[in-house]
Structure formats: structure tokens, C-alpha cells
Amino acid sequence: MRQYRIKRKGVNRMDAEFPTTITDLGIKNQVVIVTGASRGIGRAIARIFAQAGAKIIAVARDKEQLNTTLSQMENRENHLVLNTDLAEIRNCKEIVEIAEKTYGRIDTLINGAAVLSRIPMDQVDESYWQCINDVNLKSLFFLSRAAAGVMKKNHFGRIVNITSTGAYTGGLDNSVVYSTFKGGVITLTKGLAREYAGYGINVNAIAPGMTDTRMMALLTPERLREVVNQVPLKRMAKPEEIALSALFLASKWASYITGAVLDVNGGQYMR
């Protein structure tokens, strides 16, 4: 059997940039914006990216919890915390301006901010609908657009959006509105991936299943046991397990992945 090899002249750009060892994810010295960094998945992402050597701009509304996140991060002097409300579009632009002014560039944006109140359908009013939209979807669009404007200058960027298994299933126990906008995050991810592919910006999403965060604590202990038993792995994810998935998608190992949704749900939903 004849074997064929592609002959190359010199080393192409991808060969030169690809990490040289299995432990080199290409994250060291990256400038990374993480929203929703005050607790849960967002906090875990900020901590793990800091451990990998990134410079973090941690964003959330809860100043006290943000400072707790910072206290748990390695090389605290390299990071910045911004106490701000993503529901205001002008704040999305300001976050990006501060990041660029402080560090000179933006390499990765992790859109992890989200809000959820388990409100019965009959109690959902327009103000609640608007609140969920503002944080869970609208802010992602405007923050991603602003960050991409900076990423384009270096022809490199990673945007990772946190959606939910509820985007496929319709949600769990009074979370229809939340799941509706998480479905929108998937569509937004695919649209941004097409829009920015020519600028070297990869856009992907992670769809976590049940994760041990404050959102799941809103369920009664009995209901929580019931739904956990429906997961093939028979447990919830740890926030760090979602964070490690984000680390991969932001790395150079994921250089040919864009427009994808990574399911991290313990087999809870297989598609």
C-alpha cells in the first residue's frame, strides 16, 4: 500500500503557534474577561484560568463576592475586578475599554453571567421577562461585539458562552423564561461564530447540566435527589468541571472548533 504525505515548504502559521507540550494550553498571559465571576461556575472559571497563568478581569454585581473570588485566585496582583451591572449596555462597552486600557488587548471573553428565579408561569410579568433578557442574552450580544472589536486588532480571540441543557429540554421546575434565553445563547453563538471567523475569533458555547451552584439550591432536597437520580453519572457537576471545559475551548488546542456547543451534563441529555 502506497503512503502519501503532504509536502510543505517551511512552517505555516498554525504550526508555529500550536502548543508544543500536552500541558501548554496557550493560556498563559492571556487577557480574559469573565462575567458572573462572583460565585458558582463564573468563580471557578476565574480561578482556573488564573491558575493557568491568565490575567483576569472578573465582572459581577456583587462586590463582596467578587473580592472573595479575587482572594482565591493565584497571582492576585495580575487581575482586576469590576463591580458592574451587565444589564446596562453602556457598562458592556466600559468593561472592554477598561480591559484594553489596562492590559492592551483582550484574548478571551467568557460570558458566564446569568440570573434565575424559579417563578411559576402565571407569575411571570414583563419586568421579570426583561430582567432575564437583559442579563442572560442581551448583555452577551453587546459585550461580545465590543470585545470582538478589540480582538480583531490581533486577529485572535476566543468567546465562550455559557448556555444550559435547559435550552434543549425547556428547563427544570419553573425556569421556562431562563431556558428560552439560554436557547437564544446557542443561536447567538452560531451567528457570532460565522460573523467573526474571518478575524481569527472562535466562538463556542458550553451547555452545563445540573451543577452544584446556588441555582440548584432553589430546589427542595427531595426534588434535587429525584432529578440527580435521573443523571446517568448519578451526581451533579462541580463548577470546576465546567470551568475546565471553558479552559479547553479558550486554548489553542481548540483552534479548529467554532460554532459548537459542548454538552457537559453527565449524560443527563444526549443528542
d(CA 25, CA 182) in angstroms, rounded, equals 28
* CB within 8 Å of 24: residues ≥ 6 apart: none
Give the residue numbers annotated as catalytic, written as ranges: 178
Q: Of 68, 45, 13, 90, which is closest to residue 252 (Cα–Cα)? A: 13
d(CA 186, CA 249) in angstroms, rounded, equals 15
| Contact indicator for 243, 69 with CB cutoff of 8 Å | no
d(CA 57, CA 31) in angstroms, rounded, equals 8
* CB within 8 Å of 234: residues ≥ 6 apart: 228
